[in-house]
Amino acid sequence: MLCPCNVNMEKVIEAAWFAARKHTHQRRKNIEDIPYINHLLEVANLLTSEGKVTDEDILSAALLHDTIEDTGTGKAEILSVFGPNVLNYVLEVTDDKALPKAERKRMQVKHAHSLSEGATLIKLADRISNLRSIAAEAPKGWTVDRQLEYFNWSWKVFEQLPETRSPLKGLFRKTFEEGYRIVQDRKANEKSLQAKMEILRKKLRAHILRMARFGPP
Ligand code: ZN
């Protein structure tokens, strides 16, 4: 039966299968070690369910958006299997790994305004997925400051994205606001824990000094 939305299902499923094989041994950075493909499927699902995207090239590129950057897949391979539109979308949301991390982040903000509509939607869905994931659970080894920094950087990228009427824009704002509050609460908890630890440390120091001076009670 033909899909009523005219999506080329074969191409999209091929992209999901391609991505699953390329990312087989990768996991998300959270405690549960969620398979990486979950992130890619979430991004594609956000595009269809929230963004109402039916373009197979955008959906395929969403599934493939991390292949070049994270699995070393060559441009030629994506071009030969999925064609130039998909490759261009993927390249638009791919960082130049030859650059230092801070510079890559700066470039993302700088180039965000020049993204095509398709790449803008992929970028929004990608960020929504990442912010949701950080808000749900801090990535392994990430301090709260690093989490806040990621949120702030994502907002800077968001501000530079071209105008779009997609509902994903509103969803990004909502995800950002809710997630930011959660991470700020983590920061506040961290501070109060540090304050409690400091009080305990002082008490312990005083106790040790008393013991040294007067002997055990
Ligand atoms: Zn991603």
Residue in 14, 70, 77, 149 annotated catalytic: 70
Taking all residues of the chain, what is their mean pLDDT, rounded to a whole number? 92
User: Please, what is the end-to-end C-alpha distance for the chain in angstroms?
Assistant: 85
The answer for residues whose C-beta is within 8 angstroms of residue 85's C-beta and 6 or more apart is 57, 61
| Residue 116 DSSP label | -
User: What is the distance in A from the centroid of ligand 1 to the CA of 39?
Assistant: 7
Residue 60 CA to ligand 1 center (angstroms) comes to: 13
What's the pLDDT tens digit per position in 99-123?
A: 998 999 999 999 999 999 999 999 9
What is the arithmetic mean of pLDDT over 23-52? 91
CB contact set of 37 (below 8 Å; sequence gap of 6+)? 16, 19, 20, 23
Of 33, 35, 9, 10, the closest CA to residue 21 belongs to 35
Closest CA to 86 of 52, 60, 112, 54: 60
CA of 184 from ligand 1 middle (Å) equals: 23
Please report, for the chain, the start and end positions of each structural domain, with discontinuous segments joined by +: 9-214
CB count in 10 Å sphere of residue 152: 11
With tokens 């191409």, the residue in question is 11
pLDDT in tens, 62-97: 999 999 999 989 999 999 999 999 999 999 999 988
Sign of dihedral through CA atoms 141, 145, 146, 148? positive
- Exposed, middle or buried, 46 (CB in 10 Å: 0-12/13-18/19+)? buried
Alpha carbon of 116 to ligand 1 centroid (Å) = 17
10 is catalytic: no
Question: What is the model's pTM?
Answer: 0.87
Active-site position among 14, 69, 95, 117: 69
Architecture of domain 9-214: Orthogonal Bundle (1.10)
Contacts of 157 (CB under 8 A, 6+ apart): 108, 109, 112, 123, 127
Active site residue 69: yes
User: Dihedral, CA atoms, 46, 88, 54, 73, nearest 10 degrees?
Assistant: -60
